[in-house]
């Protein structure tokens, strides 16, 4: 479980909700071996500013650093070098507790491998981020059920992840990321396991969330999805190779 930990720490007030733009300056990420030697330099100096309300697709070959970048953007890990500012604050200056509270309030994360808790129903899984925000059980279950309805799993709420198809698990993971109404949605291949009709309905949902002001940052291999985003950041070998804006689309496909 990598979502926010229970924590007595509260950030007062929550100015980060007013400006969740993130800024990476020469950010690097090195994975080390247990003996301290360098295993992989996954990011080699990434400069990137993401403004509030943007819809960004992160693309690039397998192993180019997309998931690593998303993990940093989601404050689930810290950079090895460079500067990472989120909501105007330097992540390195924040304690683990502060970061955890910030993450829980601000960020919804859809993992490439879903990260659902096997022994819990999906209703309970989707309610987990609300548990960490001390939302009472009745509210938690109501909001989780609404979110599962939204992703088309209203008739599966009491199933455990193993009792669902890969695509259904993916949709449950999306519901969990959205249940807190986060300011930033980070999704790693969110349509990778979905048939095209379900994938389209999830993308239409992301479009709507973006139109309502949510910042959406998505990793994808699919050029059609890249075209749907407003901006494409393409990584290669741990560096930004391309950073381009797409022309505005005529209309959102419902």
Ligand X SMILES: Nc1ncnc2c1ncn2[C@@H]1O[C@H](COP(=O)(O)OP(=O)(O)OP(=O)(O)O)[C@@H](O)[C@H]1O
Residue 31 contact partner, candidates Mg ion, ligand X, none, CB within 5 to 8 A by sort of partner: ligand X
The site map against Mg ion for 21-60 (x = CB under 5 A) is: ----------------------------------------
Backbone angles phi, psi at 4, to 5 degrees: -55, 140
Do the beta carbons of residue 37 and residue 198 sit within 8 Å?
no
Residue with tokens 């960490």: 132
Q: Are strands 89-90 and 107-110 parallel, antiparallel or unpaired?
A: unpaired
Cα–Cα distance for residue pair 191/187, rounded to 1 Å: 9
Residue 15 contact partner, candidates Mg ion, ligand X, none, CB within 5 to 8 A by sort of partner: none
Residue 156 contact partner, candidates Mg ion, ligand X, none, CB within 5 to 8 A by sort of partner: none
Measured from the CB atom, is 89 or 221 closer to Mg ion? Answer: 221
Residues, the chain, total?
Answer: 254
Determine, following the binding rule CB under 5 A, whether residue 67 of this chain makes contact with Mg ion.
Answer: yes
Strands of 34-190 (E only): list them: 38-50, 55-59, 81-86, 89-90, 107-110, 184-188
Residue 106 contact partner, candidates ligand X, Mg ion, none, CB within 5 to 8 A by sort of partner: none
Determine, following the binding rule CB under 6 A, whether residue 68 of this chain makes contact with ligand X.
Answer: yes
Cα–Cα distance for residue pair 116/118, rounded to 1 Å: 6
Three-state secondary structure call for residue 123: helix
How many C-beta atoms lie closer than 10 Å to residue 93's C-beta? Answer: 9
Measured from the CB atom, is 63 or 137 closer to ligand X? Answer: 63
| Tokens linked to 214 | 């949510």
Nearest of 98, 75, 132 to residue 10 by alpha carbon: 98
The site map against ligand X for 26-65 (x = CB under 6 A) is: -----x-------xx-x-----------------x-xxxx
The site map against ligand X for 84-123 (x = CB under 6 A) is: ----------------------------x-----------
Under rule CB under 6 A, how many of the chain's residues touch ligand X? 13
Measured from the CB atom, is 183 or 235 closer to ligand X? Answer: 235
Shortest Cβ 68–ligand X spacing (Å): 3
Q: Which residues of this chain interact with ligand X, rule CB under 6 A?
A: 31, 39-40, 42, 60, 62-68, 112
Q: Which residues of this chain interact with Mg ion, rule CB under 5 A?
A: 67
């Amino acid at each position: 479980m990598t979502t926010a930990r229970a924590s007595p720490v509260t950030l007062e007030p929550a100015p980060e909700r007013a400006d969740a733009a993130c800024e990476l300056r020469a950010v690097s990420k090195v994975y080390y071996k247990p003996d301290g030697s360098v295993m992989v330099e996954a990011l080699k100096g990434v400069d990137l500013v993401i403004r509030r309300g943007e819809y960004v697709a992160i693309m690039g070959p397998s192993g180019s650093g997309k998931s690593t970048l998303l993990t940093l953007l989601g404050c689930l890990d810290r950079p090895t070098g460079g500067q990472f500012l989120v909501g105007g604050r330097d992540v390195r200056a924040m304690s683990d507790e502060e970061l955890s509270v910030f993450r829980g309030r601000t960020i919804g994360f859809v993992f490439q491998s879903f990260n659902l808790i096997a022994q819990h129903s999906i209703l309970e899984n989707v309610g987990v981020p609300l548990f960490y925000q001390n939302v009472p059980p009745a509210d938690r279950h109501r909001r989780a059920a609404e979110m599962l309805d939204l992703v088309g799993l209203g008739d599966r709420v009491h199933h455990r992840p193993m009792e669902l198809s890969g695509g259904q698990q993916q949709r449950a993971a999306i519901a969990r990321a959205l249940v807190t109404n986060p300011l930033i949605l980070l999704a790693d291949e969110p349509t990778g396991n979905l048939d095209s009709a379900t994938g389209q309905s999830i993308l239409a949902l992301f479009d709507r969330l973006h139109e309502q002001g949510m910042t959406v940052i998505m990793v994808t291999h699919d050029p059609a999805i890249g075209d749907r985003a407003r901006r494409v950041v393409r990584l290669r070998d741990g560096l930004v190779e391309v950073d381009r804006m797409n022309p505005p689309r005529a209309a959102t496909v419902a």
